[in-house]
Amino acid sequence: MTATQTVKQAKKPIDFIGYFLRIMIIITLVCLFVPALNPTHMSELMNDSDSFFTSGISYGGIADAFKRAVTKGYIEQGVLVRTYVGALTSLIGMAAMLVGCAMTIGEIKFKRLGAKLSLIGSAVSVAGLIFVKLQQSGFTNAANPERIKPLEPVGAIIFIVLAGICFLLSLLYLLKLPKAAKEAQWVMEGQYRLFLMMAPFIVLVFLFSYLPLWGWRYAFFDYKPGQALTPDNFVGFKWFTYLFQNAATRADIGRVMINTLAMSGIGLAMSWLPLAFAIFLTEIKCGPVRRAVQTITTIPNFISWVLVYTVAFALFSSDGFVNQFLLSTGLASESTDFLIGNDGIWLKMYLWGTWKGLGWGAIIYIAGISGIDQALYEAATIDGAGRFQKIWHITIPGLMPTFFVQFVLSISNILSNGMDQYLVFRNATNTSSIQVLDLYVYMLGLGKSNQIPLSTVVGMAKSIISVILLFSANKASKAIRGSGIV
Amino acid sequence: MAKSKVKHGFRLTAEDVVFNIINYTIFILFALICLFPFYYLFINTISDNALVGAGRIQLLPKGIHFNNYIGLTRINGLGTSFIVSVARTVIGTVLMVGASALVGYLVTKQEMWGRKFWYRFLVITMYFNAGLVPWYMNMSMLGLTNNFLAYIIPGIISPYNIILVKTYIESIPAELEESASIDGAGYFRIFRCIIFPLCKPILATIAIFGAVGHWNSFTDSLILMSGKPELFTLQHRLYTYMNEATNLAAMIQQGGSDIGNLATQASMNMRPIKFTVAMATVIPILLVYPFMSKYFEKGIMLGAVKG
């Protein structure tokens, strides 16, 4: 204990370099994921959206773009292989830097090892980067430069400088660190050990939840798939105004919004249904029947929308069960395909959603009912209250808080109907009435039209409005019942 | 309530009887509506294909055979899709549960460096979303298009599940952990030997929801794997088969009679096969369903607590 304490006191003057080293290493590693800084991006053939990490981690990241060029002999395969080897070496060095960086937050023995690791790692990384840079000539002097379209990536220099700074800092750090005392142990403070255990997950959250926000920049460029984002195709708020100025787009948006709000609106208007389902289900006093009904009605919640569509197809297509039934009983003279066309599609979508989700949505209320004090019911029975009076005066007030939370949450999700359901039920004849916002964003951006900037704008607007709705709903909930929902 | 009725000597009134009849009828009818489609699909897969094609199978199977199920093995790509679906469900669920348990434990440790900040950093991601296109561009930037890892890695972190585990761990008496820590156990050892075993009920709950989610998801396959059909999930396969049927049906309505007849014939012959594929994707769910149902209520009630 005393040993660690003295070390702690002694470390103060040099910790500044430690902080600086860690920050530099983290900056270097973040740059790995910036496509604009990819040092291997030495030809226009390569995908602009690939980062150094993507290119370095798999050979395909570099070579896929050159399949044709290699077979035609425009460029040597060796150049690509050497570029990949250099990139991979550099990445391995950076992995060592990362480990070293993590170790330097321990006590003296960890610090020394961490500094050594990041020293070696940054040296390896610089070597790999220089090796990549040397392959530049392979691209510029390729057999057919017009086809290869060589580029001089600025990222190579930036990475060499960054890794070089890390190298110098590690060296400085190592020289300044005192020798570890003989009795010194491998110790790291609990708070840092916990943080290091957490760190990989923080990285995942960053990569998959925060980094996509960086993609909002596509909204400000005249981007076509495969192109780079350059100052030349920066268009500012063009796509935002386009949304309102272009008549066709405006009409599309209007139609999509009506569909979205109509379907959400039906859902909101019917949001009492799970509550009623739960109340009347608990009125079934025969235990086995009640449990069986509850179990069976929950099954559809666990099957995918594709399967729901298969079910719909089996029952309602022109040679499905319903048509066969109507024909065989003579109720209809010819079969109709109920899945084709716009008629009543909002209602149909609501009904399928209900078929799938009603039993599931009721569970929360069933649990709520079992939490209501039985003495209330007994007292009411003695006072002569009937079944419906008990429901109205005891059960419903008891469930109101739960209902309120669900209702407010569904208001804040008014624009998010999800896309699976509408995607599977969509076909050429019903697109105009079934297309909700989520589906529209998908078809606009990733469908045939491939309008990435416009789709990004719509998605952005939707995200921002949803967040505002959620927080307003939360505020309203706080004002009405004194506690928030998020 | 039933008991109190007996105790006070109440008898069922005529009104009660009417109410019960209506109530039972409605619920049993709805339960049948939930169950019948699966039954209908099933009898259509085991009946004589010619009769199915002619639409003669309505309530009872006729000419029972299981050749359609044997025939599944002959459909190209279906086997690999099955393997992909099983692999993503098993690997994805195991990693998600492990990560949720560990992170749920870590965020309960007050002494962690920057605990409050990191916890908020994590939880706030539940409330915003960059949108589909930026998400897709991000995945492609990370090299996760046409890559099996795209099914696994993004799903490892689930803030909602982490909150569930955290709330559960907070209900475990702190003395258990303290005594182990006095005995010299490190954080990871405490997690592995004490916290993890105690959390099994909640972990089982999130595992079930995670597994069902993995098994059922098809949009990620649809959007990310367009260049690699061997990585399609089973749901995605079923979607493509069903989509063909829809297009055929739309052609029947719009196109001329010749195309119509051809299309009808093709779609008729495909019917039993499609339904068999559908049964193959739904049977695993129906098989594990009895084991899952006891965790429903627990899961959904825990979900009502907030972070």
Sketch out chain A's domains with CATH numbers: 2-188 (no CATH), 241-481 (1.10.3720.10)
Q: How far is CA A237 from CA A26, A211, A441, B31, B136, in A?
A: 33, 22, 18, 53, 22
Contacting B residues, span 34-53, partner chain A, CB-CB under 8 Å:
34-35, 37-38, 40-41, 44
Judged by CB atoms closer than 8 Å, whether chains meet at B141 and A424 is answered as no
Per CB-CB distance under 8 Å, the chain A contacts of B271 are 319
Q: What pLDDT band is residue A14 in, cutting at 50, 70 and 90?
A: low
pLDDT tens profile B243-285: 876 666 665 555 554 554 555 555 556 778 888 889 988 988 8
Per CB-CB distance under 8 Å, the chain A contacts of B274 are 310, 313
Per CB-CB distance under 8 Å, the chain B contacts of A486 are 127, 306
Q: Which residue of chain B has the CA closest to A314? A: B41
DSSP letter (8 states) at residue A221: B
Asked if residues B205 and B298 have their Cβ atoms less than 8 Å apart, the reply is: yes
CB pairs under 8 A between A and B: 295
The overall longest dimension of chain A from CA atoms, in Å, is 98
Nearest to B125 by CA among A72, A207, A53, A485: A207
Nearest to A6 by CA among A113, A105, A108: A108
Which one-letter amino acid corresponds to residue A40? T
Residues 6+ apart with CB under 8 A from A117: A96, A97, A99, A100, A103
pLDDT tens profile A422-438: 999 988 888 888 999 99
Strand, coil or helix: A451: coil
- Region of poorest pLDDT, from A17-26, A474-483, B209-218, B298-307: B298-307
Whether the pLDDT of residue A7 is over 60: the answer is no
Q: Which residue of chain A has the CA closest to B306? A: A486
- How large is the average pLDDT for residues B43-70? 81
pLDDT of residue B69: 84
Per CB-CB distance under 8 Å, the chain B contacts of A449 are none
Q: What pLDDT band is residue B183 in, cutting at 50, 70 and 90?
A: confident
Nearest to A35 by CA among B99, B188, B138: B138
- How large is the average pLDDT for residues A151-168? 91
If one compares A12 and B205, the residue with the highest pLDDT of the two is B205
Whether the pLDDT of residue A5 is over 60: the answer is no
B114 closest CB neighbour out of A195, A292, A377: A195
pLDDT of residue B265: 53
Which one-letter amino acid corresponds to residue B33? I
Interface contact B110, partner A, CB < 8 A = no
CATH architecture assigned to B71-233+276-303: Orthogonal Bundle (1.10)
pLDDT of residue A150: 84
pLDDT of residue A24: 94
pLDDT of residue B8: 47
pLDDT of residue B268: 53
Whether the pLDDT of residue B68 is over 70: the answer is yes
pLDDT tens profile B83-93: 999 999 999 99
Whether the pLDDT of residue A28 is over 90: the answer is yes
Whether the pLDDT of residue B204 is over 80: the answer is yes
Percent of chain A with pLDDT over 90: 40
Whether the pLDDT of residue A253 is over 70: the answer is yes
Could you tell me the residue ranges of all domains in chain B? Answer: 1-65, 71-233+276-303
pLDDT of residue A1: 43
Judged by CB atoms closer than 8 Å, whether chains meet at B140 and A49 is answered as yes
Residues in chain B: 307
Q: What pLDDT band is residue A54 in, cutting at 50, 70 and 90?
A: confident
Judged by CB atoms closer than 8 Å, whether chains meet at A302 and B292 is answered as yes
Q: What pLDDT band is residue B99 in, cutting at 50, 70 and 90?
A: very high
If one compares B302 and A254, the residue with the highest pLDDT of the two is A254
If one compares A254 and B9, the residue with the highest pLDDT of the two is A254
pLDDT of residue A76: 82
Question: What is the overall mean pLDDT for chain B?
Answer: 83
Nearest to A359 by CA among B133, B33, B122: B33
Query: Per DSSP, which regions of A120-236 are E strands?
Result: none
pLDDT of residue A442: 92
Per CB-CB distance under 8 Å, the chain B contacts of A58 are 143
Could you tell me where the DSSP H helices lie in A177-272? Answer: 190-205, 238-245, 247-269
B44 closest CB neighbour out of A61, A314, A442: A314
- How large is the average pLDDT for residues B109-118? 92
pLDDT of residue B266: 53
Whether the pLDDT of residue B305 is over 60: the answer is no
B128 closest CB neighbour out of A54, A58, A463: A463
Nearest to A118 by CA among A157, A159, A173: A173
- How large is the average pLDDT for residues B58-77? 81
Contacting B residues, span 189-208, partner chain A, CB-CB under 8 Å:
none
pLDDT of residue A358: 93
Q: Token match 């002494």: residue?
A: B111
Mutation target for B interface from A192, A194, A283: give the one with most B CBs within 10 A.
A194
Interface contact B23, partner A, CB < 8 A = yes
pLDDT of residue B306: 39
Judged by CB atoms closer than 8 Å, whether chains meet at A207 and B40 is answered as no
Residues 6+ apart with CB under 8 A from A160: A126, A129, A130, A133
CA distance A173 to chain B (A): 23
Whether the pLDDT of residue A108 is over 70: the answer is yes
Question: What is the overall mean pLDDT for chain A?
Answer: 87
pLDDT tens profile A320-346: 888 888 888 888 778 788 888 888 899
pTM of the model: 0.85
Judged by CB atoms closer than 8 Å, whether chains meet at A340 and B250 is answered as yes
- ipTM (interface predicted TM): 0.86
Judged by CB atoms closer than 8 Å, whether chains meet at A298 and B293 is answered as yes
Judged by CB atoms closer than 8 Å, whether chains meet at B99 and A201 is answered as yes
Interface contact B295, partner A, CB < 8 A = no
Whether the pLDDT of residue B133 is over 60: the answer is yes
Whether the pLDDT of residue A82 is over 60: the answer is yes
Residues 6+ apart with CB under 8 A from B224: B136, B139, B144, B145, B146, B147, B150
CA distance B117 to chain A (A): 11
Give the C-alpha separation, A350 to A340, whole Å. Answer: 16
- How large is the average pLDDT for residues A183-196? 87
pLDDT of residue B25: 94
- Cα-Cα-Cα-Cα dihedral of A283, A284, A286, A292, to 10°? -130
If one compares A15 and B173, the residue with the highest pLDDT of the two is B173
Per CB-CB distance under 8 Å, the chain A contacts of B3 are none
Q: Which residue of chain A has the CA closest to B181? A: A190
Strand, coil or helix: A150: strand
Mutation target for B interface from A302, A319, A338, A463: give the one with most B CBs within 10 A.
A302
B113 closest CB neighbour out of A51, A192, A218: A192
- Region of poorest pLDDT, from A40-49, A276-285, A444-453: A40-49
Mutation target for A interface from B27, B209, B264, B285: give the one with most A CBs within 10 A.
B27
CA distance B141 to chain A (A): 5
pLDDT of residue A73: 81
- How large is the average pLDDT for residues B134-138? 91
Whether the pLDDT of residue B35 is over 80: the answer is yes
Judged by CB atoms closer than 8 Å, whether chains meet at A419 and B219 is answered as yes
pLDDT of residue A103: 92
Mutation target for A interface from B137, B254, B291, B297: give the one with most A CBs within 10 A.
B137
